[in-house]
Amino acid sequence: MTKQHSNWWKHTIAYEIYPSSFQDSNGDGFGDIKGITSRLDYLQSLKVGALWLTPVYASPMVDNGYDVSNFYEINPFYGTMEDMERLIAEADKRGIKIVMDLVFNHTSEECDWFKESRKSRDNPKSDWYIWKDAPDATAGEKHASDIAGENYADREPPNNWRSIFGVPAWTWCEERKQYYLHTFAKQQPDLNWENPEVRKALYDIANFWIKKGVGGFRIDAIPYIKKPADFASGKPDAGDGMVSIHTMTVNTEGILDFLQEFKANVTEGKNVFTVAEANGVGPEDLKYWVGEKGAFDMLFEFGHLHDVEIWCKPSPFGIMDFKKALIASQRATARNGWYPVFFENHDKPRSVNNFFSPAVAGDPTKNKLAAKALAVLMMTLRGTPFLFEGQEIGMTNMKRNSIDKYDEVNTKAQYNLALQEGFTPDEAMGFVNRFSRDNARTPMQWDSSPNAGFTTGKPWLGMNENFTELNVAFEDASEDSVLKFYKELIELRQKTRTSGNDYTALNDGDLEIILENHPQVLGFKRFSSAGIDKDIYTILVNLSETAAELDEILFLNQEKVISNYGDNLSSNSLRPLEAVILHSSDFMI
Protein backbone atom coordinates (compact mmCIF):
# COMPACT_ATOMS: atom_id res chain seq x y z
CA MET A 1 0.00 0.00 0.00
CA THR A 2 1.43 3.41 -0.93
CA LYS A 3 1.76 6.33 1.42
CA GLN A 4 -0.74 8.33 -0.61
CA HIS A 5 -3.42 5.75 0.22
CA SER A 6 -2.37 4.97 3.78
CA ASN A 7 -2.75 7.93 6.10
CA TRP A 8 -2.57 5.82 9.25
CA TRP A 9 -0.52 8.51 10.99
CA LYS A 10 -3.53 10.83 10.90
CA HIS A 11 -5.57 8.47 13.05
CA THR A 12 -3.16 7.47 15.78
CA ILE A 13 -1.43 8.82 18.87
CA ALA A 14 2.27 9.66 18.50
CA TYR A 15 4.59 9.53 21.50
CA GLU A 16 8.11 10.91 21.80
CA ILE A 17 10.73 9.09 23.84
CA TYR A 18 14.01 10.58 25.02
CA PRO A 19 15.83 7.25 25.31
CA SER A 20 18.36 8.28 27.97
CA SER A 21 15.49 9.08 30.32
CA PHE A 22 12.73 6.57 29.59
CA GLN A 23 13.73 3.20 31.11
CA ASP A 24 17.08 1.71 32.10
CA SER A 25 17.27 -2.08 31.78
CA ASN A 26 20.79 -2.79 33.08
CA GLY A 27 21.35 -0.47 36.04
CA ASP A 28 23.92 1.83 34.45
CA GLY A 29 21.72 4.90 34.96
CA PHE A 30 21.00 5.47 31.26
CA GLY A 31 17.77 4.53 29.55
CA ASP A 32 18.21 2.07 26.71
CA ILE A 33 16.49 0.26 23.87
CA LYS A 34 15.73 -2.85 25.92
CA GLY A 35 14.10 -0.57 28.47
CA ILE A 36 11.86 0.90 25.79
CA THR A 37 10.90 -2.59 24.61
CA SER A 38 9.95 -3.53 28.18
CA ARG A 39 7.45 -0.63 28.28
CA LEU A 40 5.69 -1.26 24.97
CA ASP A 41 2.61 -2.64 26.71
CA TYR A 42 2.28 0.63 28.63
CA LEU A 43 2.49 2.58 25.38
CA GLN A 44 -0.08 0.28 23.83
CA SER A 45 -2.43 1.13 26.72
CA LEU A 46 -2.22 4.76 25.55
CA LYS A 47 -3.21 3.68 22.00
CA VAL A 48 0.18 4.83 20.72
CA GLY A 49 0.69 3.98 17.05
CA ALA A 50 3.82 6.00 16.26
CA LEU A 51 6.81 5.96 18.60
CA TRP A 52 9.39 8.67 17.92
CA LEU A 53 12.84 8.03 19.37
CA THR A 54 15.32 10.87 19.66
CA PRO A 55 18.67 9.74 18.18
CA VAL A 56 20.05 6.36 19.23
CA TYR A 57 22.84 6.31 16.65
CA ALA A 58 26.55 6.17 17.46
CA SER A 59 27.51 9.48 19.06
CA PRO A 60 30.02 10.99 21.49
CA MET A 61 26.94 12.50 23.22
CA VAL A 62 28.07 16.13 23.32
CA ASP A 63 24.47 17.07 22.52
CA ASN A 64 22.78 13.95 23.87
CA GLY A 65 22.82 12.09 20.57
CA TYR A 66 22.15 14.98 18.19
CA ASP A 67 25.85 14.84 17.31
CA VAL A 68 25.85 11.67 15.21
CA SER A 69 29.14 9.97 14.34
CA ASN A 70 27.60 7.02 12.43
CA PHE A 71 23.99 6.72 11.30
CA TYR A 72 24.40 3.01 10.56
CA GLU A 73 25.38 2.02 14.09
CA ILE A 74 23.58 2.06 17.46
CA ASN A 75 25.15 3.93 20.36
CA PRO A 76 26.44 1.35 22.90
CA PHE A 77 24.82 3.52 25.60
CA TYR A 78 21.49 2.34 24.21
CA GLY A 79 22.29 -1.18 23.07
CA THR A 80 22.96 -2.94 19.79
CA MET A 81 21.48 -3.14 16.32
CA GLU A 82 19.98 -6.47 17.39
CA ASP A 83 18.21 -4.66 20.25
CA MET A 84 16.92 -2.08 17.77
CA GLU A 85 15.64 -4.72 15.36
CA ARG A 86 13.83 -6.48 18.21
CA LEU A 87 12.24 -3.19 19.31
CA ILE A 88 10.96 -2.58 15.77
CA ALA A 89 9.56 -6.13 15.60
CA GLU A 90 7.94 -6.09 19.07
CA ALA A 91 6.43 -2.68 18.43
CA ASP A 92 5.00 -3.91 15.13
CA LYS A 93 3.26 -6.76 16.98
CA ARG A 94 1.43 -4.13 19.03
CA GLY A 95 0.52 -1.94 16.08
CA ILE A 96 3.24 0.60 16.88
CA LYS A 97 5.60 1.95 14.21
CA ILE A 98 9.02 3.27 15.20
CA VAL A 99 9.84 6.79 14.04
CA MET A 100 13.55 7.59 13.71
CA ASP A 101 15.09 11.03 14.22
CA LEU A 102 17.11 12.17 11.20
CA VAL A 103 19.78 14.72 12.13
CA PHE A 104 20.69 15.94 8.66
CA ASN A 105 21.80 19.53 9.23
CA HIS A 106 25.07 18.44 10.82
CA THR A 107 27.10 15.52 12.14
CA SER A 108 29.49 14.98 15.01
CA GLU A 109 33.08 16.12 14.58
CA GLU A 110 33.85 12.42 15.23
CA CYS A 111 32.02 11.38 12.04
CA ASP A 112 34.41 9.85 9.48
CA TRP A 113 33.07 12.32 6.92
CA PHE A 114 34.29 15.28 8.96
CA LYS A 115 37.57 13.64 9.95
CA GLU A 116 38.33 13.30 6.25
CA SER A 117 37.02 16.75 5.33
CA ARG A 118 39.19 18.56 7.88
CA LYS A 119 42.45 16.96 6.68
CA SER A 120 42.96 19.21 3.69
CA ARG A 121 41.30 21.40 1.09
CA ASP A 122 41.65 18.87 -1.70
CA ASN A 123 40.53 15.50 -0.28
CA PRO A 124 37.41 13.68 -1.61
CA LYS A 125 35.23 15.05 1.20
CA SER A 126 36.80 18.49 1.42
CA ASP A 127 33.52 20.23 0.57
CA TRP A 128 31.14 18.00 2.49
CA TYR A 129 31.03 20.68 5.20
CA ILE A 130 30.95 24.49 5.13
CA TRP A 131 34.45 25.93 5.21
CA LYS A 132 35.44 29.59 4.97
CA ASP A 133 38.71 31.49 5.04
CA ALA A 134 39.38 34.22 7.54
CA PRO A 135 38.14 37.56 6.12
CA ASP A 136 41.55 38.65 4.81
CA ALA A 137 42.39 35.26 3.30
CA THR A 138 39.71 34.94 0.64
CA ALA A 139 39.48 31.88 -1.54
CA GLY A 140 42.06 31.93 -4.31
CA GLU A 141 44.38 34.42 -2.61
CA LYS A 142 45.96 32.27 0.07
CA HIS A 143 45.97 28.54 0.63
CA ALA A 144 46.91 26.41 3.60
CA SER A 145 50.41 25.82 2.23
CA ASP A 146 50.99 29.58 1.94
CA ILE A 147 49.89 30.46 5.48
CA ALA A 148 51.25 27.56 7.47
CA GLY A 149 53.45 29.86 9.50
CA GLU A 150 50.88 32.57 10.11
CA ASN A 151 48.77 32.83 13.27
CA TYR A 152 45.37 32.59 11.60
CA ALA A 153 43.76 31.13 14.70
CA ASP A 154 43.69 34.64 16.21
CA ARG A 155 41.90 36.22 13.26
CA GLU A 156 38.24 37.21 13.14
CA PRO A 157 35.72 34.61 11.93
CA PRO A 158 33.97 35.01 8.55
CA ASN A 159 30.96 36.79 10.10
CA ASN A 160 29.32 37.61 13.42
CA TRP A 161 26.86 34.73 13.63
CA ARG A 162 26.16 33.24 17.06
CA SER A 163 25.24 29.56 17.23
CA ILE A 164 21.97 28.37 18.73
CA PHE A 165 24.01 27.32 21.76
CA GLY A 166 25.25 30.84 22.47
CA VAL A 167 28.84 30.58 21.19
CA PRO A 168 30.38 31.85 17.93
CA ALA A 169 29.10 29.80 14.99
CA TRP A 170 32.56 29.46 13.44
CA THR A 171 35.45 27.37 14.77
CA TRP A 172 39.01 27.44 13.49
CA CYS A 173 40.53 24.26 12.04
CA GLU A 174 44.31 24.28 12.15
CA GLU A 175 44.70 21.49 9.58
CA ARG A 176 42.93 23.44 6.83
CA LYS A 177 43.70 26.94 8.13
CA GLN A 178 39.98 27.67 7.73
CA TYR A 179 36.84 28.10 9.80
CA TYR A 180 33.95 25.63 9.71
CA LEU A 181 30.33 26.54 10.42
CA HIS A 182 28.22 24.99 13.17
CA THR A 183 24.63 26.04 13.81
CA PHE A 184 24.81 24.32 17.20
CA ALA A 185 27.88 23.26 19.24
CA LYS A 186 31.38 23.44 17.80
CA GLN A 187 31.43 19.62 17.88
CA GLN A 188 28.48 19.62 15.41
CA PRO A 189 29.80 20.87 12.04
CA ASP A 190 27.14 21.75 9.46
CA LEU A 191 26.88 19.62 6.34
CA ASN A 192 27.11 21.25 2.92
CA TRP A 193 23.76 20.49 1.29
CA GLU A 194 24.91 22.24 -1.89
CA ASN A 195 27.04 19.15 -2.56
CA PRO A 196 24.95 16.45 -4.32
CA GLU A 197 27.19 13.71 -2.89
CA VAL A 198 26.22 14.81 0.62
CA ARG A 199 22.53 14.73 -0.22
CA LYS A 200 22.78 11.24 -1.73
CA ALA A 201 24.60 9.94 1.34
CA LEU A 202 21.83 11.28 3.56
CA TYR A 203 19.08 9.77 1.40
CA ASP A 204 20.88 6.42 1.57
CA ILE A 205 20.78 6.59 5.38
CA ALA A 206 17.03 7.20 5.44
CA ASN A 207 16.38 4.35 3.02
CA PHE A 208 18.52 2.03 5.13
CA TRP A 209 16.18 2.59 8.08
CA ILE A 210 13.07 2.19 5.96
CA LYS A 211 14.37 -1.25 5.00
CA LYS A 212 14.79 -1.97 8.71
CA GLY A 213 11.03 -1.47 9.09
CA VAL A 214 10.59 1.99 10.61
CA GLY A 215 7.32 3.76 9.92
CA GLY A 216 8.43 7.34 9.69
CA PHE A 217 10.97 10.07 10.34
CA ARG A 218 11.15 13.17 12.45
CA ILE A 219 13.66 15.44 10.73
CA ASP A 220 15.74 17.66 12.99
CA ALA A 221 16.58 21.36 12.47
CA ILE A 222 15.70 21.18 8.79
CA PRO A 223 15.17 24.96 8.13
CA TYR A 224 18.90 25.52 8.59
CA ILE A 225 20.23 23.25 5.84
CA LYS A 226 20.25 26.00 3.19
CA LYS A 227 22.62 28.91 3.86
CA PRO A 228 22.54 32.37 2.22
CA ALA A 229 25.18 32.61 -0.48
CA ASP A 230 26.78 35.82 0.83
CA PHE A 231 27.27 34.63 4.45
CA ALA A 232 26.90 38.29 5.47
CA SER A 233 27.10 39.55 9.03
CA GLY A 234 23.90 40.73 10.69
CA LYS A 235 22.83 43.42 13.13
CA PRO A 236 23.98 42.41 16.65
CA ASP A 237 21.16 41.35 18.97
CA ALA A 238 23.10 41.27 22.25
CA GLY A 239 26.08 42.82 23.98
CA ASP A 240 28.49 40.25 22.55
CA GLY A 241 28.28 41.90 19.12
CA MET A 242 26.83 38.81 17.47
CA VAL A 243 23.53 37.89 15.85
CA SER A 244 21.65 34.60 16.12
CA ILE A 245 22.38 32.21 13.27
CA HIS A 246 18.67 31.41 13.31
CA THR A 247 17.90 34.95 12.17
CA MET A 248 20.44 34.75 9.37
CA THR A 249 19.84 31.28 7.92
CA VAL A 250 16.37 29.98 8.73
CA ASN A 251 14.21 29.04 5.73
CA THR A 252 16.63 30.46 3.15
CA GLU A 253 15.25 30.71 -0.38
CA GLY A 254 15.91 27.52 -2.31
CA ILE A 255 15.52 25.17 0.65
CA LEU A 256 12.32 23.67 -0.74
CA ASP A 257 14.18 22.36 -3.78
CA PHE A 258 16.36 20.28 -1.46
CA LEU A 259 13.34 19.06 0.48
CA GLN A 260 11.39 18.03 -2.59
CA GLU A 261 14.43 16.06 -3.71
CA PHE A 262 14.51 14.34 -0.32
CA LYS A 263 10.84 13.41 -0.72
CA ALA A 264 11.38 12.02 -4.23
CA ASN A 265 14.37 9.92 -3.16
CA VAL A 266 13.18 8.69 0.23
CA THR A 267 9.47 8.71 1.03
CA GLU A 268 7.46 9.01 -2.16
CA GLY A 269 5.41 5.89 -2.80
CA LYS A 270 6.31 4.31 0.55
CA ASN A 271 4.15 3.71 3.59
CA VAL A 272 6.11 6.01 5.88
CA PHE A 273 5.39 9.51 7.11
CA THR A 274 7.57 12.53 7.79
CA VAL A 275 7.31 15.28 10.36
CA ALA A 276 9.92 18.02 10.24
CA GLU A 277 11.14 20.35 12.96
CA ALA A 278 10.80 23.75 11.36
CA ASN A 279 11.20 26.55 13.85
CA GLY A 280 10.88 29.77 11.87
CA VAL A 281 8.42 28.53 9.26
CA GLY A 282 5.22 30.49 9.76
CA PRO A 283 1.63 29.43 9.09
CA GLU A 284 1.60 31.44 5.86
CA ASP A 285 4.35 29.17 4.47
CA LEU A 286 2.92 25.83 5.60
CA LYS A 287 1.30 25.21 2.21
CA TYR A 288 4.77 24.87 0.69
CA TRP A 289 6.02 22.50 3.36
CA VAL A 290 3.07 20.14 3.95
CA GLY A 291 0.01 18.99 2.07
CA GLU A 292 -0.48 17.45 -1.32
CA LYS A 293 2.50 19.21 -2.89
CA GLY A 294 4.52 19.79 0.25
CA ALA A 295 7.80 18.13 1.11
CA PHE A 296 6.54 16.62 4.39
CA ASP A 297 3.38 15.16 5.87
CA MET A 298 3.51 17.32 9.01
CA LEU A 299 5.59 20.15 10.37
CA PHE A 300 6.52 21.10 13.92
CA GLU A 301 6.43 24.88 14.01
CA PHE A 302 6.86 26.67 17.30
CA GLY A 303 4.83 29.86 17.29
CA HIS A 304 2.57 28.63 20.08
CA LEU A 305 5.39 27.49 22.40
CA HIS A 306 6.84 30.86 23.46
CA ASP A 307 10.09 30.02 21.75
CA VAL A 308 12.86 32.07 23.38
CA GLU A 309 16.22 32.42 21.60
CA ILE A 310 18.02 34.32 24.39
CA TRP A 311 16.68 33.15 27.75
CA CYS A 312 17.59 36.31 29.65
CA LYS A 313 15.61 38.37 27.12
CA PRO A 314 12.24 36.60 26.92
CA SER A 315 9.53 38.38 24.98
CA PRO A 316 6.04 38.79 26.50
CA PHE A 317 3.74 35.89 25.72
CA GLY A 318 0.15 35.68 26.89
CA ILE A 319 -3.09 33.84 26.26
CA MET A 320 -3.90 35.80 23.12
CA ASP A 321 -0.43 35.09 21.69
CA PHE A 322 -0.97 31.38 22.32
CA LYS A 323 -4.44 31.46 20.77
CA LYS A 324 -3.35 33.46 17.73
CA ALA A 325 -0.52 31.04 16.93
CA LEU A 326 -2.63 27.91 17.31
CA ILE A 327 -5.53 29.34 15.32
CA ALA A 328 -3.23 30.42 12.49
CA SER A 329 -1.73 26.94 12.21
CA GLN A 330 -5.12 25.24 12.30
CA ARG A 331 -6.43 27.48 9.53
CA ALA A 332 -3.29 27.06 7.43
CA THR A 333 -3.70 23.26 7.37
CA ALA A 334 -7.51 23.12 7.30
CA ARG A 335 -7.80 22.19 3.62
CA ASN A 336 -4.28 21.25 2.62
CA GLY A 337 -1.99 19.50 5.04
CA TRP A 338 -2.05 18.01 8.49
CA TYR A 339 -0.94 19.38 11.84
CA PRO A 340 1.10 17.73 14.62
CA VAL A 341 -0.53 18.86 17.86
CA PHE A 342 2.17 19.20 20.51
CA PHE A 343 2.85 21.21 23.65
CA GLU A 344 6.04 19.50 24.83
CA ASN A 345 9.20 17.96 23.44
CA HIS A 346 12.75 17.20 24.52
CA ASP A 347 13.89 20.80 23.88
CA LYS A 348 11.20 22.74 25.74
CA PRO A 349 10.09 23.23 29.34
CA ARG A 350 7.22 21.16 30.67
CA SER A 351 3.94 22.51 29.32
CA VAL A 352 2.26 23.56 32.56
CA ASN A 353 5.35 25.58 33.49
CA ASN A 354 5.59 27.00 29.97
CA PHE A 355 1.99 28.16 29.54
CA PHE A 356 0.89 28.97 33.08
CA SER A 357 2.16 30.98 36.02
CA PRO A 358 4.38 29.59 38.80
CA ALA A 359 1.32 29.76 41.06
CA VAL A 360 -0.38 27.16 38.85
CA ALA A 361 2.64 24.93 38.21
CA GLY A 362 3.58 24.92 41.89
CA ASP A 363 0.14 24.01 43.23
CA PRO A 364 -0.76 20.29 42.84
CA THR A 365 -4.48 20.93 42.36
CA LYS A 366 -4.05 23.76 39.86
CA ASN A 367 -1.25 21.90 38.10
CA LYS A 368 -3.56 18.94 37.57
CA LEU A 369 -6.34 21.15 36.18
CA ALA A 370 -3.91 22.91 33.84
CA ALA A 371 -2.41 19.62 32.61
CA LYS A 372 -5.91 18.29 31.93
CA ALA A 373 -6.91 21.50 30.12
CA LEU A 374 -3.96 21.07 27.77
CA ALA A 375 -4.90 17.40 27.36
CA VAL A 376 -8.33 18.45 26.09
CA LEU A 377 -6.68 20.66 23.47
CA MET A 378 -4.21 17.91 22.53
CA MET A 379 -6.95 15.42 21.79
CA THR A 380 -9.50 17.70 20.11
CA LEU A 381 -7.55 20.03 17.84
CA ARG A 382 -7.33 18.90 14.21
CA GLY A 383 -4.14 16.91 13.72
CA THR A 384 -2.09 14.07 15.15
CA PRO A 385 -1.38 14.40 18.89
CA PHE A 386 2.31 14.09 19.80
CA LEU A 387 2.76 13.33 23.47
CA PHE A 388 6.16 13.65 25.10
CA GLU A 389 7.16 11.11 27.75
CA GLY A 390 5.77 12.08 31.14
CA GLN A 391 3.35 14.65 29.75
CA GLU A 392 0.54 12.14 30.23
CA ILE A 393 1.13 12.16 34.00
CA GLY A 394 1.67 15.92 34.26
CA MET A 395 5.42 15.97 34.86
CA THR A 396 6.79 19.41 35.76
CA ASN A 397 9.96 21.44 35.51
CA MET A 398 12.69 20.70 38.01
CA LYS A 399 14.48 23.34 40.06
CA ARG A 400 18.24 23.33 40.65
CA ASN A 401 20.28 25.71 42.80
CA SER A 402 23.55 25.36 40.89
CA ILE A 403 24.50 25.39 37.22
CA ASP A 404 26.74 22.40 37.96
CA LYS A 405 23.61 20.26 38.39
CA TYR A 406 22.65 20.76 34.76
CA ASP A 407 23.96 18.46 32.05
CA GLU A 408 22.87 20.23 28.90
CA VAL A 409 25.32 22.25 26.76
CA ASN A 410 22.95 25.08 25.79
CA THR A 411 21.88 25.57 29.40
CA LYS A 412 25.44 26.33 30.44
CA ALA A 413 25.94 28.66 27.47
CA GLN A 414 22.72 30.54 28.26
CA TYR A 415 23.75 30.86 31.93
CA ASN A 416 27.08 32.42 30.90
CA LEU A 417 25.34 34.71 28.38
CA ALA A 418 23.03 35.98 31.15
CA LEU A 419 26.06 36.77 33.31
CA GLN A 420 27.66 38.61 30.38
CA GLU A 421 24.47 40.64 30.01
CA GLY A 422 24.82 41.85 33.61
CA PHE A 423 22.47 39.54 35.49
CA THR A 424 23.43 38.12 38.88
CA PRO A 425 24.12 34.38 39.32
CA ASP A 426 20.73 33.99 41.07
CA GLU A 427 18.95 35.76 38.22
CA ALA A 428 20.82 33.65 35.67
CA MET A 429 19.73 30.50 37.52
CA GLY A 430 16.15 31.75 37.36
CA PHE A 431 16.33 31.86 33.56
CA VAL A 432 17.95 28.42 33.50
CA ASN A 433 15.32 26.83 35.75
CA ARG A 434 12.60 28.37 33.60
CA PHE A 435 13.86 27.46 30.13
CA SER A 436 16.44 24.66 30.34
CA ARG A 437 16.01 21.68 28.04
CA ASP A 438 16.93 19.47 31.01
CA ASN A 439 13.45 20.21 32.40
CA ALA A 440 12.03 17.79 29.84
CA ARG A 441 14.86 15.30 30.21
CA THR A 442 14.60 14.25 33.85
CA PRO A 443 13.99 10.49 34.02
CA MET A 444 10.50 9.10 33.55
CA GLN A 445 8.61 8.69 36.81
CA TRP A 446 7.22 5.15 36.85
CA ASP A 447 6.56 4.61 40.56
CA SER A 448 7.52 5.81 44.05
CA SER A 449 10.43 3.40 44.53
CA PRO A 450 14.01 4.74 44.59
CA ASN A 451 14.75 6.61 41.36
CA ALA A 452 11.09 6.29 40.37
CA GLY A 453 11.55 2.82 38.90
CA PHE A 454 13.69 4.29 36.13
CA THR A 455 16.96 2.62 37.16
CA THR A 456 18.52 0.54 39.92
CA GLY A 457 21.72 2.57 39.50
CA LYS A 458 22.51 6.28 39.67
CA PRO A 459 20.43 8.24 37.13
CA TRP A 460 22.47 10.10 34.50
CA LEU A 461 20.41 13.20 35.33
CA GLY A 462 18.94 13.93 38.74
CA MET A 463 15.32 12.96 39.35
CA ASN A 464 12.57 15.51 39.78
CA GLU A 465 11.92 15.49 43.52
CA ASN A 466 8.14 15.18 43.09
CA PHE A 467 8.33 11.61 41.74
CA THR A 468 7.03 10.05 44.96
CA GLU A 469 3.59 11.58 44.44
CA LEU A 470 3.64 12.06 40.68
CA ASN A 471 4.25 8.77 38.86
CA VAL A 472 2.59 6.28 36.51
CA ALA A 473 1.74 3.67 39.16
CA PHE A 474 0.05 6.18 41.46
CA GLU A 475 -1.87 7.85 38.64
CA ASP A 476 -2.97 4.57 37.10
CA ALA A 477 -4.62 3.71 40.42
CA SER A 478 -6.28 7.13 40.81
CA GLU A 479 -9.53 7.81 39.00
CA ASP A 480 -8.95 11.57 39.09
CA SER A 481 -5.40 11.53 37.71
CA VAL A 482 -3.99 13.23 34.63
CA LEU A 483 -3.09 9.81 33.21
CA LYS A 484 -6.65 8.47 33.55
CA PHE A 485 -7.95 11.69 32.00
CA TYR A 486 -5.66 11.27 28.99
CA LYS A 487 -6.82 7.69 28.53
CA GLU A 488 -10.44 8.82 28.65
CA LEU A 489 -9.79 11.49 26.02
CA ILE A 490 -7.86 9.09 23.79
CA GLU A 491 -10.68 6.58 23.98
CA LEU A 492 -13.19 9.28 23.08
CA ARG A 493 -11.08 10.46 20.16
CA GLN A 494 -10.60 7.01 18.68
CA LYS A 495 -14.16 5.72 18.96
CA THR A 496 -15.97 5.22 15.66
CA ARG A 497 -19.70 5.14 16.28
CA THR A 498 -21.08 4.49 19.73
CA SER A 499 -24.69 5.02 20.70
CA GLY A 500 -25.32 6.94 17.50
CA ASN A 501 -22.57 9.50 18.16
CA ASP A 502 -20.04 10.15 15.40
CA TYR A 503 -16.82 10.49 17.38
CA THR A 504 -14.70 10.57 14.22
CA ALA A 505 -15.40 14.30 14.31
CA LEU A 506 -12.70 14.58 16.97
CA ASN A 507 -10.21 12.75 14.80
CA ASP A 508 -10.46 13.92 11.22
CA GLY A 509 -13.50 16.15 11.22
CA ASP A 510 -13.61 19.84 10.33
CA LEU A 511 -12.76 22.58 12.82
CA GLU A 512 -14.44 25.96 13.25
CA ILE A 513 -12.94 28.58 15.57
CA ILE A 514 -15.29 30.38 17.96
CA LEU A 515 -14.61 33.04 20.60
CA GLU A 516 -11.55 34.10 18.63
CA ASN A 517 -11.19 37.41 20.46
CA HIS A 518 -12.09 36.19 23.94
CA PRO A 519 -9.20 37.14 26.25
CA GLN A 520 -9.44 33.98 28.36
CA VAL A 521 -11.03 31.14 26.41
CA LEU A 522 -9.89 29.13 23.41
CA GLY A 523 -13.01 27.73 21.77
CA PHE A 524 -13.79 25.72 18.65
CA LYS A 525 -16.26 23.26 17.19
CA ARG A 526 -15.46 19.88 15.62
CA PHE A 527 -17.89 18.19 13.27
CA SER A 528 -18.03 15.56 10.56
CA SER A 529 -20.57 15.61 7.77
CA ALA A 530 -22.86 12.64 7.16
CA GLY A 531 -25.57 13.77 4.84
CA ILE A 532 -27.73 16.49 6.40
CA ASP A 533 -27.33 15.64 10.08
CA LYS A 534 -24.06 16.34 11.86
CA ASP A 535 -22.67 15.63 15.28
CA ILE A 536 -21.13 18.73 16.79
CA TYR A 537 -18.54 18.93 19.55
CA THR A 538 -17.90 22.26 21.19
CA ILE A 539 -14.57 22.56 23.01
CA LEU A 540 -14.13 25.38 25.51
CA VAL A 541 -10.88 25.84 27.45
CA ASN A 542 -10.37 28.60 29.99
CA LEU A 543 -6.64 29.28 29.90
CA SER A 544 -6.80 31.84 32.69
CA GLU A 545 -6.76 31.59 36.48
CA THR A 546 -10.07 33.43 36.87
CA ALA A 547 -13.65 32.53 35.92
CA ALA A 548 -14.68 33.32 32.33
CA GLU A 549 -18.21 34.48 31.49
CA LEU A 550 -19.66 33.17 28.23
CA ASP A 551 -22.88 33.57 26.26
CA GLU A 552 -25.40 31.03 27.51
CA ILE A 553 -26.28 30.10 23.90
CA LEU A 554 -23.04 28.11 23.77
CA PHE A 555 -24.45 25.70 26.33
CA LEU A 556 -28.02 25.34 25.01
CA ASN A 557 -29.02 21.78 24.02
CA GLN A 558 -25.53 20.55 24.81
CA GLU A 559 -24.47 17.43 26.68
CA LYS A 560 -21.27 17.78 28.68
CA VAL A 561 -19.11 14.86 27.56
CA ILE A 562 -15.95 15.64 29.53
CA SER A 563 -14.85 18.23 32.08
CA ASN A 564 -11.47 18.47 33.74
CA TYR A 565 -13.29 19.34 36.96
CA GLY A 566 -14.90 15.91 36.86
CA ASP A 567 -18.46 17.05 37.32
CA ASN A 568 -21.51 17.98 35.23
CA LEU A 569 -22.20 21.41 36.64
CA SER A 570 -24.12 23.46 34.11
CA SER A 571 -23.37 27.16 33.86
CA ASN A 572 -22.74 29.90 31.34
CA SER A 573 -19.28 30.44 32.74
CA LEU A 574 -16.08 28.44 32.97
CA ARG A 575 -14.23 28.09 36.23
CA PRO A 576 -10.50 28.89 36.41
CA LEU A 577 -8.55 26.52 34.11
CA GLU A 578 -11.76 24.65 33.24
CA ALA A 579 -11.92 22.68 29.99
CA VAL A 580 -15.10 21.06 28.69
CA ILE A 581 -16.21 19.06 25.67
CA LEU A 582 -19.89 19.53 24.80
CA HIS A 583 -21.88 17.41 22.35
CA SER A 584 -24.99 18.00 20.30
CA SER A 585 -26.43 15.80 17.56
CA ASP A 586 -29.50 17.85 16.62
CA PHE A 587 -27.62 20.89 15.38
CA MET A 588 -27.02 21.89 11.79
CA ILE A 589 -23.97 23.75 10.48
Q: Are strands 501-502 and 521-530 parallel, antiparallel or unpaired?
A: unpaired
- Of 464, 459, 458, 455, whose CA–CA distance to 436 is shortest? 464
Q: Are 58 and 81 in contact (CB under 8 A)?
A: no
Cα dihedral value 92, 25, 344, 468, nearest 10: 130
Strand ranges inside 195-312, DSSP E: 216-219, 243-244, 273-277, 298-300
Over its C-alpha atoms, the chain yields an Rg (Å, rounded) of: 24
Burial category of 110 from C-beta neighbours within 10 Å (exposed 0-12, middle 13-18, buried 19 and up): middle
CA dist 159 and 452 (Å) reads 47
Q: Are strands 273-277 and 298-300 parallel, antiparallel or unpaired?
A: parallel
- Angle value at C-alpha 492, between 486 and 496, nearest 5 degrees: 145
Q: Would you tell me how many other CB atoms lie within 10 Å of the CB of residue 552?
A: 11
| Sequence-separated (6 or more) residues with CB below 8 Å from residue 22 | 31, 35, 36, 39, 389, 443, 444, 454
**Of these residues, 220, 301, 392, 535, which one is catalytic?**
220
CA dist 133 and 176 (Å) reads 9
- Angle value at C-alpha 207, between 205 and 212, nearest 5 degrees: 100
Q: Would you tell me how many other CB atoms lie within 10 Å of the CB of residue 478?
A: 11
Cα dihedral value 144, 147, 150, 152, nearest 10: -50
CA dist 586 and 501 (Å) reads 11
**Of these residues, 133, 277, 389, 502, which one is catalytic?**
277
Q: Are strands 243-244 and 161-162 parallel, antiparallel or unpaired?
A: parallel
CA dist 390 and 39 (Å) reads 13
What is the DSSP secondary-structure string of 439-462? GGTSPP---SSGGGGS-SS--SSP
> Is 220 assigned a catalytic role?
yes
> Is 194 assigned a catalytic role?
no
Q: What are phi and psi of 105, to 5 degrees?
A: -80, -25
CA dist 160 and 40 (Å) reads 47
What is the DSSP secondary-structure string of 512-529? EEESTT-SSEEEEEEEEE
Active site residues: 220, 277
